[in-house]
């Protein structure tokens, strides 16, 4: 491994589920084994993929900070992370614009599918179409389904990400020729991860949408945007689509910090909202697959696995779930997550969250391996 020597294997994930049902005493006795399992190399997962005979030539990514590899570095916005301590565990400590101490979920998924170790940002001038041919992300931190969400911090809305993708298609055809390019376009995996900011940065944070819509109406509005976006992707050649669900956003350190009356526990109303929204997205997936011939869309839902990590951190080798690694871990992210802050932790692998909004590299690895073996397994056998 070049970038991350402690990647989680799918075998380790399966073993942790078995251990999760063990007694506390047994778990304590098995703690050393659990930690060893998380050190197993990612090659186990790559082998799992190869055995299933998947043909995924590229990963094309749209979304927010959960999958942005640095596009925001090249636009005028404060929603950036191209400075330390971000990226301190990435390829020798290089901040890339990923909101993590290292790699993010889509990087691990790309590696597991036998493609590349990391997925580059489309706006990064140090990369070219030869780099993007097997994977590229158009994502922009702080964006959402709602254009009004992207306006909050002047980031790239989904419609603009789609325009960048159309430009990418032209470059890909010029680079590979129409035949090979069309094969990549039709067999690539399209991943969408967005939605959290629509609620936490927009609906519940500023006046506007909350006066126009009830929560349920706003959920339906966002699902409508997701329906339109996936339809447009289909029209330009996408067939294999992974629609990302929301995480248990009430358990983010930022939300827990503000939950004074609840003893800084997870904000269950936000968790319930995320679960409900994911249910609506799942209904959309079923509907779109029936509506569009040849579309193969799945819901890649991180809610359950992340909540399990938060509720049983020891089973996954974590020690801290309430606060993040960076700074005090209670509210900092972005520029507030300063390199000079003396409170930043020394070992991010002990923490579920890197900053108050985003998971650590280790957490991303676990989520990625779960997604590859479960929702994405459909693509590995078709």
Nearest Cα neighbor of 165 from 110, 104, 237, 227 is 237
C-alpha 244/C-alpha 364 separation (Å) is 14
Nearest Cα neighbor of 45 from 376, 314, 382, 296 is 376
DSSP string, 259-285: -TTTTT---HHHHHHHHHHHHHHHHHH
E strand intervals along the chain: 59-63, 135-137, 189-193, 240-244, 296-300
Query: Which one of 68, 150, 358, 365 is the catalytic residue?
Result: 358
Whether 117 is a known active-site residue: answer no
Query: Which one of 68, 355, 365, 369 is the catalytic residue?
Result: 355
Query: What is the separation of C-alpha 214 from the centre of its chain, rounded to a whole number of angstroms?
Result: 27
Query: Which one of 65, 81, 150, 356 is the catalytic residue?
Result: 65
Q: Which residues contact 136 (CB under 8 A, 6 or more apart)?
A: 58, 59, 60, 61, 119, 120, 121, 122, 168
C-alpha 39/C-alpha 72 separation (Å) is 32
Whether 355 is a known active-site residue: answer yes
DSSP string, 232-268: HHHHTT--EEEEE----GGGSHHHHHT-TTTTT---H
Kind and range of the H or E run holding 184: helix 178-187
C-alpha 117/C-alpha 109 separation (Å) is 9
Whether 14 is a known active-site residue: answer no
Q: How far is CA 347 from CA 36, 88, 192, 206, 325, in A?
A: 17, 11, 30, 35, 8
Q: Which residues contact 101 (CB under 8 A, 6 or more apart)?
A: 85, 86, 87, 88, 89, 90, 325, 348, 354, 360, 361
**Are 89 and 1 contacting, i.e. CB atoms less than 8 angstroms apart?**
no
Positions marked active-site = 65, 355, 358
């Amino acid at each position: 491994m070049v970038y991350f020597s402690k990647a989680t294997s799918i075998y380790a994930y399966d073993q942790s589920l078995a251990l999760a049902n063990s007694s506390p005493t047994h778990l304590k006795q098995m703690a050393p084994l659990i930690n060893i399992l998380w050190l197993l190399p990612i090659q186990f997962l790559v082998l799992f993929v190869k055995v299933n005979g998947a043909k995924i030539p590229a990963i094309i990514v749209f979304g927010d900070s959960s999958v942005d590899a640095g596009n925001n570095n090249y636009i005028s916005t404060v929603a950036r992370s191209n400075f330390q301590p971000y990226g301190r565990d990435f390829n020798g400590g290089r901040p890339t614009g990923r909101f993590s101490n290292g790699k993010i979920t889509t990087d691990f998924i790309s590696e597991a599918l036998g493609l590349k170790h990391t997925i580059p940002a489309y706006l990064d001038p140090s990369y070219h179409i030869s780099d993007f041919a097997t994977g590229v992300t158009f994502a922009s931190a702080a964006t959402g389904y709602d254009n009004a969400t992207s306006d909050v911090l002047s980031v790239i809305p989904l419609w603009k990400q789609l325009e960048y993708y159309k430009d990418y298609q032209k470059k890909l055809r010029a680079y590979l020729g129409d035949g090979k390019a069309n094969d990549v376009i039709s067999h690539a995996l399209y991943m969408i991860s967005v939605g959290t900011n629509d609620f936490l940065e927009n609906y519940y944070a500023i006046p506007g949408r909350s006066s126009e819509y009830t929560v349920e109406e706003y959920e339906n509005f966002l699902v409508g945007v997701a329906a339109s976006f996936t339809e447009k992707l289909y029209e330009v050649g996408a067939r294999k689509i992974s629609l990302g669900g929301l995480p248990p956003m009430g358990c983010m350190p930022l939300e827990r910090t503000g939950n004074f009356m609840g003893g800084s526990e997870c904000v269950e109303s936000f968790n319930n909202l995320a679960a409900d929204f994911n249910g609506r997205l799942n209904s959309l997936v079923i509907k779109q697959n029936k509506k569009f011939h040849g579309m193969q869309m799945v819901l890649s839902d991180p809610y359950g696995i992340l909540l399990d990590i938060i509720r049983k951190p020891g089973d996954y080798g974590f020690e801290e779930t309430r606060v993040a690694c960076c700074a005090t871990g209670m509210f900092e992210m972005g520029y507030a997550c300063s390199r000079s802050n003396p409170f930043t932790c020394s070992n991010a692998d002990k923490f579920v969250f890197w900053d108050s909004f985003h998971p650590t590299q280790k957490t991303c690895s676990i989520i990625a391996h779960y997604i590859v073996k479960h929702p994405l397994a459909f693509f590995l056998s078709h």
